[in-house]
């Protein structure tokens, strides 16, 4: 009997001569363990890797793998993206600078010339 810990993966144990059940198939991750350590029985709450009530296509293993894949089939936990924090601190000495005024240039008017 192995100790149950929150965060551990739950894999199939298999059966005699690996029939009908194959060992090492990932089923889910332990989210909670109930019962005192050292007690005769303990219960684990498991978040399954698949929603069993929403399956529409299922693969069936027809041959036992040549060797036990162990943990290689367990989905990897997602890596969280780093959080970037930008803090703006106003300067106490900063003063607004006046915007230079723009003077509009006069458009020259044509002067009539006599012929």
Give the number of C-alpha atoms closer than 13 A to the C-alpha of residue 99, restricted to the C-beta side: 3
Question: Which token pair is 26?
Answer: 């990932």
Residue 10 — φ and ψ, nearest 5°? -110, 120
**Cβ pair 45, 30 in contact under 8 A:** yes
Q: What is the mean pLDDT of residues 14-39?
A: 81
Question: What span, in angstroms and rounded, lies between the C-alpha atoms of 19 and 23?
Answer: 10
pLDDT at 1 (0 to 100)? 61
CA separation, residue 64 to residues 17, 71, 77, 95 (Å): 9, 16, 27, 77
Higher pLDDT, residue 2 or 45: 45
pLDDT at residue number 88: 81
User: Is the pLDDT higher at 55 or at 61?
Assistant: 55
* Average pLDDT for 76-80: 79
Does residue 70 or residue 6 have the better pLDDT? 6
3-state secondary structure of 33: strand
Taking residues 12-29, report their average pLDDT: 79
Task: Verify cis geometry, omega within 30 degrees of 0, for the bond prior to 53.
Answer: no
């Amino acid at each position: 009997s192995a100790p149950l810990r929150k965060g551990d993966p739950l894999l199939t144990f298999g059966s005699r001569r690996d029939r009908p059940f194959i060992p090492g198939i990932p089923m889910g991750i332990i989210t909670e363990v109930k019962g005192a350590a050292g007690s005769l029985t303990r219960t684990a709450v498991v978040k399954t890797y698949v929603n069993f009530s929403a399956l529409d296509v299922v693969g069936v293993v027809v041959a036992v793998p040549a060797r036990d894949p162990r943990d290689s089939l367990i989905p990897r936990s997602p890596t969280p993206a780093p959080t970037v924090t930008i803090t703006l601190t106003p300067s106490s000495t900063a003063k607004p600078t006046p915007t230079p005024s723009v003077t509009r240039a006069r458009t020259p008017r044509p002067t009539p010339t006599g012929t």
